[in-house]
Homo-oligomer: A and B are copies of this chain.
Amino acid sequence: MSDPRWTVYLAGEIHSDWRQRIAAGVEAADLPLRLTGPVTDHAASDDCGVMALGPEAQAFWKDHKGAKVNAIRTRTLIRRADVVVARFGEKYRQWNAAFDAGYAVAIGKPLITLHPEALDHALKEVDGAAQATAREPEQVVEVLKYVLTP
């Protein structure tokens, strides 16, 4: 109850270094928070279902098994988080990041979106449900630093 540390879940893009940049900023500022997120090893994430539970002949069911195993982690960590950050990049569709954002907002978690201006119009509904929209990971750190002012 009275643990003053926060948990911040980092959802979305796994092909750039945005998580590392946030982690570096958090460490530099010595913020009392713990960062969580999905498994970011792309191959491990894609194969986790069949690796743990046996092979599938069809791509759909292989994906299905994997997605459901990943959801054990992601939804548990989102439910445990105080803040959810959702990162969208130019290259991928990242529907899972938007799904996580919708899930987080529905259960009352404050959402911070992180994306370039070029995606503003396409992400307007997600931004509209967010408490803040950042362009750079360092801005996310600034927000966290402020909201954790002692």
A interface list, Cβ under 8 A from B: 1-7, 33-34, 39, 41, 44, 48-49, 51-54, 57-61, 63-76, 79-80, 82-83, 88, 92-108, 110, 112, 117, 120-129, 131-135, 139, 142-143, 145-149
Contact = CB atoms under 8 A, between A and B. Distances in A.
Contact of A1 (B5, B74, B148): B5
Contacts of A3: 1-3
A50 to B, nearest CB: 11
Contacts of A82: 1, 76
Given A52-B132, A68-B132, A71-B129, 20 more contacts: A1-B5, A39-B146, A44-B149, A49-B132, A52-B134, A54-B135, A54-B139, A69-B131, A69-B146, A70-B147, A73-B149, A76-B82, A76-B147, A92-B122, A96-B125, A99-B99, A101-B102, A102-B103, A102-B104, A103-B105
B120 A63 contact: yes
A53 B76 CA distance: 29
Contacts of A67: 124-125, 127-129
Given A71-B125, A132-B68, A59 B96 contact: no
Contact of A68 (B41, B49, B76, B128): B128
A142 B51 contact: yes
